[in-house]
Structures are given as structure tokens and as C-alpha cells.
Structure 1
Amino acid sequence: MGASEVGNLTATAVKAANAPGRYGDGDGLFLLVGKGGAKSWIVRIQKDGRRRDIGLGSASKVPLKLARERAGEVREQIEVGIDPVAERAKAAGIPTFREAARQVHAEHKASWKNAKHKAQWLSTLESYAFPAFGDRLIAHVDAPAVRDALAAIWLEKPETARRLRQRIRTVIDWAVAKGYRDAALAMPVIDKALPKQRAKVRHHKAVPYADLPAFMGQLRASESMGRLALEAVILTAARSGEVRLATWGELDLDAATWAIPAERMKAGREHIVPLSSQAVALFRRMQVHRREDSDAALVFPGLKRGRPLSDMTLTKAMRDMGRTETPHGFRSTFRDWVAEQTTWPADLAEAALAHVVSDKTVAAYQRGSMLEKRRDLMAAWADYCDGASGGNVVRLAR
């Protein structure tokens, strides 16, 4: 039914209205009757070219006279720039997106082991989401707003944009679980409204394995903490962060093993590294640099007491040798050597690198330690680094 003047409805008419539809009282006030017979009031207002329907309550609890009064109050508030829905939400304790994001960050940061991730998680939202809709109530953050914030950096900063998308979604899902909004965002709809990104795979620049024996000779020509740590990275095929944060309590040099605890592993599970004789000799040499008799003491201490080496210390060691590759790239060097110069199976190399294997059959096989097989592999790798070749390890090119 249409509406042109105030007062089209009567209390009797409201009571008698049973057919699903919209019944106009005038001046934007409507009685809505649902398919199940439920009745409610809304007032339709228009401001700055934007039309909105604002609920005024159930008709079973709000009589016609009160509905008209509430409609008038809403129109007055809108006219002076007050958003009645936002005010109502604030009174109910519904946070803004900014406030919700900070709560999510506070609740989750204890479970994040990476300090850099803790800082970046919130800073990404502060840089790209908060300026767009940070002060909007979490209940009112909609797909168009999120899509526009993502679109601003979607092609220019694709990796950052993908992280932003995930973090916005986490905040929204949290708000749904807390009862601050009725539904999550329709992310598939947002994704379809964004341009297609061109996949760019960035690999760490690696020293070719053919250059490695000569590189090791140059590396060992002089001694510094950065060079010693870099040698450990190469001999163990570990990540530079795992080496820089290694403690004496993790090493068992008599058993020639290094047990990296789960909290320092990317995959979140303990990794046992079998140490070659060259690696054991290197760690024994590090005893000279040991500053305190504690299992928690760092094997490769930084200049400041109790502080680890920075990743740039290892990078600087390479730059001083005239190399442009990265310390992390030695894991690729190791993997390429296994694939192209040996007959060792690929899954053994993946286990040595502590990679998570998606194939369930291979993953089940890897649950066994495979320690002795990996010990043979790492011994062959260390020998290759020293310049040894031949034996039944090297597979000659056809």
C-alpha cells in the first residue's frame, strides 16, 4: 500500500493487517507484515541522496501513536546530523571496527610466536582499513566498504592486500561470534568484484650449488660471529632464524643432534637435525665464544649480552664476500643439489628442510624420524660443501 499523508493508518487497521506487505502511514512510516504474520515498524528517511530504513520495533509492543513519535524523533536526529542507529548501537556496547580490531589483536597475539607478525597484523589494518571504515560500527561495515579499501592496493601491493583481506575477515568473524553483527561478509562476492592479481612468486636468491665448495673456502678464510652462524646455516640447511636463536640446551654434540623446539619452528613442531661431523666441529668451536654456563645461552650471541645476532649480520657477511644472494637461499641450494646431483629421494630432502608435506601418504611416512637416513644425507652434503665428490651419492648428468 502507498502512503502520502500522515495518519493513513488507524489502530484498528494495524490490528487487522494480516496480508504480508508494507502498509504506509505517511511521512516515511511503514508497518511491515511478514509472511509468518509478524508485524514491525520502520521509518524510511533520505539524507544527502542516501535512503535508509530504520527499525522502530515490533508492532506488538509499539502502538501506532508511539511509532509515529519515534519516527518523528528519528527524522529530527537525522536532520541535525545524528545517526540514531549508531547511537543505539553504542548504547548497546557495539564497538567500532577500530575498537573491534584492537580487541581481536589483544586476544590473539599471545598465540603468535612471531613478534614481527604481531606488530604487522595491527599496523596493516591501521594503514589501510582504519582510514576507510575504522570509525564505523562493526555491525555496519559492509561489502562495498571492504571492497573499496582492498581495491586501493589490490594490484599495487598484492601480498599486503591479501593479508589485509584475511585480517578484516578475522575481525568481522569475531564480531559475528560476539553477537555484534548478524552475518559475516560475503567474501566471494567481494573477491569477484576485485581485479585478478598476477601471481608473482618471489624466491630467495641462492648461491648455485656448483659454487658452494669455493664459497665455503672463502667463508672460512676469516672468522666472525656472522660467518660462523652462516656456516651453521649451510651445514644444517636450517633457517637463519633457527640458527641465530639456537641455545646450548638444544644441542647434544655427543649424539650429534640439534633439537629445535616446536615454538621456534615454522611448522610448529619439534625438528631434530642430525649433525654432520663438520657441524659438530663447528659447534664445538663455538664453545670458545660461550659467555655463560646456561642451557638457555645463545650459541651465536650478538654484541649485546643476551641478544641474538640480527639477520643482517649474516647478510653482511655475504656482502663482505661480494655475494648478492641471501642466507635463506642456502636452503634452495641444498634442495637443488639433492634434486640434480644425488639419488636421495625428494621426501628425504623435504624432511631435512622441515617442510610440511601435504600428501597424506608421504606425511605418514615422514612421521617416522628418518633420522639415520637424514644423517647420511647431511654427511654427504657437508662433504660436498668441503669439496668432496664421487661415491654413490653423485648422479652424473646424462
Structure 2
Amino acid sequence: MAGRKNLTARFVETVKVDVRTDYWDDVVRGLVLRVSPTGVKSWTVVYHRESDGAKRRVTIGKFPAIDLAKARAKALGAVTAVSDGEDPAGKKRARRDSMTVRELGALYVEKYAKRNKRTWAEDERLLKVEVYPEIGDMKALAVKRRDILDIIESKADAGFLAQSTQILAVVRKAFNWAVENDYLESSPVIGVKPRAKPTRRERVLSDDEIRTLWKALSEVPILSDTVSIFRLLLLTGQRSGEVCGIVRSEIDLEKAIWTIPGVRTKNGLTHVVPLSDEALAIVAAALETVDEEGNASLFSRIGNSIEPNAVAQAARLKLQLLGMPWTPHDLRRTVATGMAGIGVMPHIVEATLNHISGFRAGVAGVYNRAAYEPEKRRALDMWAEHIIAIVKSKSSKIVDIAGARR
């Protein structure tokens, strides 16, 4: 079925069909909205090839990723190319047929992951380290399910079950993105299941492990900025990406606070972190070495902020000295557990870590957030004292914050 129509944004958004239907735009000749019964809406351009007059169709995107205005602009570009003797459909097919997994992965990272995922660097690392060495030079359309299974089963058989699951998740997302954006007709990952069920990490460093790690940071061959990041992770309990991305404008030395803007926090809320004397000393020392601009990164390498995946790599390659494996995120869990152990109330721990659940969830949590700033400072000061006492092999005094406030 087909129909010619002066397409509107409202029509495109609401149209539904029982059988696949093409709606031809009256404004841009050749632009077609193809609607399927499943609700998928694709933009195509139909044209006649200059060389032989053959009728051709090329897909230029899907709704809602491409709205009506963008579709018309892309269609005009395609029609102009045809008048210049080009064959957009043939060009796209040739590019798709020749694209390797490595090239497809780079497109996924650049066009999707960097724009939508805070952890895009980890996606890129997994592709480069685990996927490209095995199938990177294969044509993307030639990859079979068995190729994917070989990668994840090999990792699982080596005992790295969680990493096997992570690799599968990234590969699945990359190939699904390729299908959604018409780089591939289908994904080889369809039907592939994880080799192991995801497990919630419960790793918490003991006092002895904290002491060992803190002292090792002064001895292992890693960047001094990376050392500072690890120590701030342990002193503040904030996320690795938040610590790595600190810039000058977020620090107020006089008030001893670090304000993380909502665009950099996981929950989108601005978060104020009181700095203990130990944390403040680390931050102040870093400020002495960076430019005066407000967006100057405190911890950088070759002009760019150190990435969380670089910190994770340093932990994996240089700091596995504790008997059991650990990751930078385990330090956050260690802080949360340790604060509770020295008497910090659960809702103060959540406020300190900017973690909204339980007591702080919902409207009540939003209205109570500002009221906890003094308690957060006291909690972080106590925690820093506890850390220093551990490092110096002293026992720290356990204090009930709720009792101290009365």
C-alpha cells in the first residue's frame, strides 16, 4: 500500500498501520516514510539512478532518531547527490559490505557510546582488548554467532565470568546499534546468552588491606596524579569518574568543599562533598600544578583528564597486592561499609555518597538533602581520621554521630 501525503510532525509521530505502508512526502520529492505494523518507522529516499535509470531506494534513518525536518534535509542531500551522478544506495551498500568489526566498533563508540554512556571508555577498551584481536578485521556482516560465542566462552573458561558478561553486553549493544542505524541487516548476537548470571559485588577492603594499599601507593610505579585519585576515592567515597574529572571551578579551598555539578553525577543532582584535612591537602597540592582556568583538570595526562578506565587498569596491573582481586569501585563500597562501622547513620552515609535509595528516595530525600551538610562533614572527618589511624596502625575511636548531635 502507498499514499502521497503532506507529512506533518504529528502524523509521523502518531501514524499506525495494519500492513506495511509507504507514505510519500509532498514537500520533498522522493522522501518516503515506511511504517510497519510493529511500529517501526523508517525514512527512505526513492530515486532513479542517473547512469541507467534504475529505480533505487536508500534508507536514511529511523524515526524518532531522525525527525521529519532532519529527514527532509537528508533527503534533499541525497537527491542533490543523485543529480550529480552519484548512487547513494550503491555507495551505502558498498560501504556496509566492506566495513570491518573494528570500523563498526569505532563508529559505535563515536556516534553512540560517547554521547550516551558515561562508561564509553570502558566499552572502547573492551572492544580493543577483547574483541578486535579476535574478529576486528572480519567483515561485520560476515560475523556469525559462533564467533561471538568463542570470545565470551574463552573468557568464561579462563575463570573471568563477570568480564565475559561485560564483553557480551558491549558487543550486543554495538551490533544492535548497527542494525538500528542500518549499517547491518541483522545482529549475530541475537540469542546469545551470558555464560554466567551477573553477581552483585560485595568486596570490601579490610583494615589490613587499606593499610597495605595506602602504603603501596607511595611505592608502585604509577603517576602521582593516579596516586592522588586512589587516595581521594578512599577518603571521599565518590565515584571514580567524579574524582578523575575534578576541575578547578569545583573546589572552594576556603570552605573546604568540592561541588560536583549535576551533569557529572550519576543521579543528575549537584552534590557537595565536604573535604577533610587529608582530602583538602591532596586537592590543594593538585591545584598548585594546574592552570588558572576554571575548567583546568586537577588530574590530567597529556592535557586531558585521566580516564576512569586508566585508574581501573592501574589497579588491575599494579595494585593487586591484597590477596583477593579488587576494583576502584570496591573502595566506594569500603567507605560506605566502613562509615557504618564507625557509627555513621545510614541516611548520612547515603547523603555523603550521593546515593539515593531507601531513606533518601523520593520527595522526602530531595527536601532533606541540604540539611545534612554538617553531618556529611563530620562523617568524612571521622572517616579520614579512621583511615589515618589504620595507616598508622592505631585503633580509631568509634563515635555515634546521632548521639554526638544530641
The alignment's C-alpha RMSD in Å is: 5.1
Q: Is the 8 A contact 1:247 1:298 kept in 2?
A: yes
Which of 137, 141, 157 is residue 141 of structure 2 equivalent to?
137
In structure 2, the residue matched to 1:377 is 376
Map Cα deviations across residues 298-331 of structure 1 (whole Å, 9 max, x no partner): 44577x777769749997xx98xx9888765543
The question of 1:248 aligning with 2:232 is answered no
Q: Is the 8 A contact 1:227 1:314 kept in 2?
A: no
Q: Is the 8 A contact 2:104 2:140 kept in 1?
A: no
- Residues 326 and 161 (structure 1 numbering): CA distance in 2 closer, same or farther, change over 3 Å? closer
- Residues 308 and 129 (structure 1 numbering): CA distance in 2 closer, same or farther, change over 3 Å? closer
In structure 1, the residue matched to 2:111 is 107
Q: Is the 8 A contact 1:261 1:271 kept in 2?
A: yes
In structure 2, the residue matched to 1:190 is 192
Map Cα deviations across residues 219-268 of structure 1 (whole Å, 9 max, x no partner): 99xxx877766554444222455334422210134454312234544x26
In structure 2, the residue matched to 1:176 is 179
The question of 1:127 aligning with 2:133 is answered yes
Distance 1:110 1:343 in 2: 37
Distance 2:140 2:162 in 1: 25
- What letter matches 1:110 in structure 2? K
- What letter matches 1:122 in structure 2? L
Distance 1:122 1:137 in 2: 17
Distance 1:313 1:172 in 2: 26
Distance 1:161 1:261 in 2: 34
In structure 2, the residue matched to 1:116 is 121
SS at match of 1:259: strand
Q: Is the 8 A contact 2:276 2:384 kept in 1?
A: no
Q: Is the 8 A contact 2:262 2:270 kept in 1?
A: yes
Map Cα deviations across residues 87-123 of structure 1 (whole Å, 9 max, x no partner): x999944435635444333422431555632532532
Shift of 1:184: 5.2
The within-5 A match list for 1:230-379 is: 232-262=232-262, 264-265=264-265, 267=266, 269-276=268-275, 278=277, 282=281, 285-286=284-285, 289-299=288-298, 311=311, 329-342=330-343, 344-345=345-346, 347-355=347-355, 357=357, 362-368=361-367, 370-379=369-378
Higher radius of gyration, 1 or 2: 1
State TM-score, norm by structure 1.
0.53
- Residues 392 and 219 (structure 1 numbering): CA distance in 2 closer, same or farther, change over 3 Å? farther
Distance 2:155 2:214 in 1: 42
Map Cα deviations across residues 134-161 of structure 1 (whole Å, 9 max, x no partner): 32636xx554554455434443343343
Q: Is the 8 A contact 1:301 1:308 kept in 2?
A: yes
Shift of 1:337: 2.6
- What letter matches 1:261 in structure 2? P
- Residues 378 and 210 (structure 1 numbering): CA distance in 2 closer, same or farther, change over 3 Å? farther
The question of 1:393 aligning with 2:401 is answered yes
SS at match of 2:401: coil
- Residues 269 and 129 (structure 1 numbering): CA distance in 2 closer, same or farther, change over 3 Å? farther
Q: Is the 8 A contact 1:263 1:269 kept in 2?
A: yes
The within-5 A match list for 1:2-13 is: none
SS at match of 1:366: helix
Distance 1:159 1:254 in 2: 44
Shift of 1:376: 0.7
Distance 2:139 2:172 in 1: 17
- What letter matches 1:158 in structure 2? L
- Residues 326 and 289 (structure 1 numbering): CA distance in 2 closer, same or farther, change over 3 Å? farther
Distance 2:312 2:106 in 1: 31
Shift of 1:344: 0.8
- Residues 97 and 268 (structure 1 numbering): CA distance in 2 closer, same or farther, change over 3 Å? farther
- Residues 268 and 381 (structure 1 numbering): CA distance in 2 closer, same or farther, change over 3 Å? closer
The within-5 A match list for 1:199-238 is: 206-208=205-207, 232-238=232-238
Shift of 1:295: 1.8
SS at match of 2:242: helix
Distance 1:250 1:179 in 2: 42
Aligned length: 289
Q: Is the 8 A contact 1:297 1:306 kept in 2?
A: no
- What letter matches 2:157 in structure 1? L
- Residues 283 and 144 (structure 1 numbering): CA distance in 2 closer, same or farther, change over 3 Å? closer
In structure 2, the residue matched to 1:59 is none
SS at match of 1:246: coil
SS at match of 1:197: coil
**% identical aligned pairs:** 16
Distance 2:304 2:106 in 1: 31
Distance 1:217 1:149 in 2: 38
Distance 2:369 2:157 in 1: 44
Q: Mind listing any 5+ residue stretches in structure 1 that lack a counterpart?
A: 1-87
Q: Is the 8 A contact 1:286 1:299 kept in 2?
A: no
